[in-house]
Structure 1
């Protein structure tokens, strides 16, 4: 048994679930520590496409520990290599909710595994969560698998581990969908009507501005606010999973085009504040 997941929070929760089941030493977890809803995925199955993605993050995202300069590319290539060299006798579980992040990842992984004979079981965690926990008093819909608590993830696994593997025709469909995604030059993707759609990079800029205006309305006088405060407000109301670094990257863009005034130095979110220019 082998599990492929997208995101460190998902990996941590699944490992905890497997530990509770006594399977932590028997079932391996491979994790793409990435967010596939953002950044270029053009030809990502090829070396040049991977390099383009690495360079995009390195030149746009801030990292106090130089992660994007030093380790991001190594981590991505290491994980990609693990997926490409999965032994063909292994049963693979692909974990993904209804998000552009995880669904793009699913199509990417299935493309990498195209010539493998592995039995591959796709667990749609959004569907499974609502089917198994629909009687909960609190209405909650996790944006990604990482938003599901380990105890519920454990229950989802126990109920879905005997699901039928992905049929050959469905694998071919995923394969074609990846080829279409990998021909596009977009750097932002959303999940809409059961499909991954590429949108313009500034798609959420009006949403960011709207949330900044809302925060200003809560102040006695329009004043600077920490950029982290705005990023948190945006993240808390988004119905898509993009990650805070992408939102912060767009905030810096809005500073550069004159939408926001800045106070401080934008080397990390906590070091600068912003306000809408009057």
Structure 2
């Protein structure tokens, strides 16, 4: 049985807690947050605390907090030589206080508070400074996920950067698409099968091979019509930028 203590109360912390609760070989010993009201609804399931001095002994301490809070919180943990990990995609493992055995437990997924997720389908990227601690962290990861990868800090950071492109930026493009359809009273929902098919296609083809559309064809008449339809200048800027990127990629 692997004992863990979760520190933090955001979306990642909440989803990790639920996943660990379902795992057969994981015991959540305690849950810490500086504002205990944020985790008060779980007090009948797990011991909660807002006092770092009252942290219990555990195999792994998971800092599921904002990137800016990782270093400071790790320095405030009142013991040393315990395995302390953070869940960030962009924070270096060395940002954790060196009095600890340091590592990273990075679930590569977007987390929203009320969205149901199956953690078995979420890749977990694992990193440790000490090789001896890797096996403990890998065992924790495999208890909730079918995909566990050993990565270094550079690999993790570029994965996080790529995730911003394929998730955050893509979602913003959905938002722009929603604005465009609304401008003429068209239904954005009619685009949802296309969104799903686009995501499905990239499971089997490379993004390069899956690309279609007027930019790839260098269809100048359609591109000109689209730009004329766009009412907002920043929408035109984005359209032009992505069009030129696609044309450059495909040699147009």
TM interval, short-chain normalised: 0.3 to 0.5
Higher relative contact order (CA 8 A, sep 6+): 1
Instruction: Please report the TM-score for the alignment, with normalisation by the length of structure 1.
Output: 0.32
- Bigger Cα Rg: 2
Instruction: Please report the TM-score for the alignment, with normalisation by the length of structure 2.
Output: 0.35
